[in-house]
Chains A and B, each alone.
Chain A
Amino acid sequence: MSTKRIVLTALAAFVVLLGVVVYFTFDPSNPSLSKYFPKCPFYSLTGLKCPGCGTQRALHEILNGNIAGALHYNALLLVAVPLIGLYWLADAIKKRHPALDNVLNHPAAIITIVVVVIAWCIARNLWGF
Chain B
Amino acid sequence: MRQYWINFKGNQEGPMSLEQLAQKGLDETAYVWHSGLADWVKITTVPELNDMLNNSAKAAQESPAELPEQEPEAVTEEVPELETEEVPELPQEEAIADEVPSLDNVIESPAPNYGGQQQYAMPVAPQQGPAPQEAPKCPPTNLVWSIIATVLCCSIPGIVGIVFAFLTKKYYREGNLEKAQRMSDYGAWSVIISIMLGIISMPLSCAMNIFKVAM
Q: List CB contacts (< 8 Å) of B113-166 with chain A.
A: 138, 141, 143-144, 147-148, 150-156, 158-159, 162-163, 165-166
Contact A114 B147 (CB under 8 A): no
Contact A76 B154 (CB under 8 A): no
Q: List CB contacts (< 8 Å) of A44-66 with chain B.
A: 44, 50-53, 55
If A110-B166, A110-B169 touch, does A55 touch B151 (CB 8 Å cutoff)?
yes
Which A residues are CB-close (under 8 A) to B163? Answer: 114
The secondary structure that dominates the B interface is: helix
Contact A107 B150 (CB under 8 A): no
Q: Is A83 located at the chain interface by the 8 A CB criterion?
A: yes
Known: A42-B155, A117-B150. 8 other contacts (CB 8 A): A37-B206, A38-B206, A53-B155, A80-B150, A91-B144, A110-B143, A110-B165, A110-B166
In whole angstroms, how far apart are the Cα atoms of A52 and B158 in the complex? 10
Which of A34, A106, A117 contacts B162, CB < 8 Å? A117
In whole angstroms, how far apart are the Cα atoms of A102 and B119 in the complex? 29
Whole-angstrom distance between the Cβ of A74 and the nearest chain B Cβ: 8
Q: List CB contacts (< 8 Å) of B26-40 with chain A.
A: none
Would you give 6 A-B contacts (Cβ < 8 Å), ordered by A? A35-B210, A40-B155, A51-B150, A52-B154, A52-B158, A107-B173
Q: Is A84 located at the chain interface by the 8 A CB criterion?
A: yes
Whole-angstrom distance between the Cβ of B163 and the nearest chain A Cβ: 6
Which of A50, A53, A87, A114 contacts B144, CB < 8 Å? A87
Q: Is B201 located at the chain interface by the 8 A CB criterion?
A: yes
In whole angstroms, how far apart are the Cα atoms of A84 and B144 in the complex? 6
Interface residues on A, range: 20 to 34
Chain A residues proximal to chain B, CB less than 8 Å: 34-42, 44, 50-53, 55, 74, 76-77, 80, 83-84, 87-88, 91, 105-107, 110-111, 113-114, 117-118, 121
Whole-angstrom distance between the Cβ of A75 and the nearest chain B Cβ: 11
Contact A41 B201 (CB under 8 A): yes
Contact A35 B213 (CB under 8 A): yes
Contact A105 B169 (CB under 8 A): yes
Contact A114 B166 (CB under 8 A): yes
In whole angstroms, how far apart are the Cα atoms of A107 and B146 in the complex? 15
Q: Is B170 located at the chain interface by the 8 A CB criterion?
A: yes
In whole angstroms, how far apart are the Cα atoms of A113 and B148 in the complex? 12
Q: Across the two chains, which residue of chain B brings its CB closest to A41?
A: B201
Whole-angstrom distance between the Cβ of A92 and the nearest chain B Cβ: 12
Which B residues are CB-close (under 8 A) to A51? Answer: 150-151, 155, 158-159
Q: Is B197 located at the chain interface by the 8 A CB criterion?
A: yes
Identify which of B144, B148, B151 gathers the most chain A CB atoms within 10 Å of its CB. Answer: B151
Which B residues are CB-close (under 8 A) to A87? Answer: 143-144, 147
Which B residues are CB-close (under 8 A) to A105? Answer: 138, 141, 143, 169
